[in-house]
Every structure is written in structure tokens, then in C-alpha cells.
Amino acid sequence: MLNTKLDVVVVGTPDITKLPTSEQRAFFETLYARVLELAKKKE
């Protein structure tokens, strides 16, 4: 099983629901791709 610790720094009070749907999708796709990249690095 994959165990990865990520530190997230938040400035202000983010609200992803205020982004347009296309930007929300891009945000989550980018986040997912980065998590996969980190997971492959650990193998």
C-alpha cells in the first residue's frame, strides 16, 4: 500500500467550488498526476 506524506500550505481560505468547472478539473488532474509521480519515485 502507498503511504505518502504531503505538506500543503494554504494562504487565505481557498474555495475550489468558486472556480469554473474546467479549472476545478485541471486542479484535480494536476494533483492526481503529482501524487502518481511521487508514488513512482518511491518504487
Q: What is the DSSP letter of 19?
A: S
C-alpha cell of residue 40: 513512482
For residues 4 and 34, the model is more confident at 34
What does the pLDDT look like over 11-23, one tens digit per residue?
A: 888 889 999 999 9
C-alpha cell of residue 6: 504531503
Prediction pTM value: 0.61
Q: Answer yes or no: is pLDDT of 28 > 90.
A: yes
Greatest Cα pair distance, the chain, in angstroms, is 37
Distance CA 2, CA 14 (A): 27
Q: What is the pLDDT of residue 38?
A: 87
Q: Tell me what the pLDDT averaged over the chain comes to.
A: 87
C-alpha cell of residue 20: 469554473
C-alpha cell of residue 17: 467550488
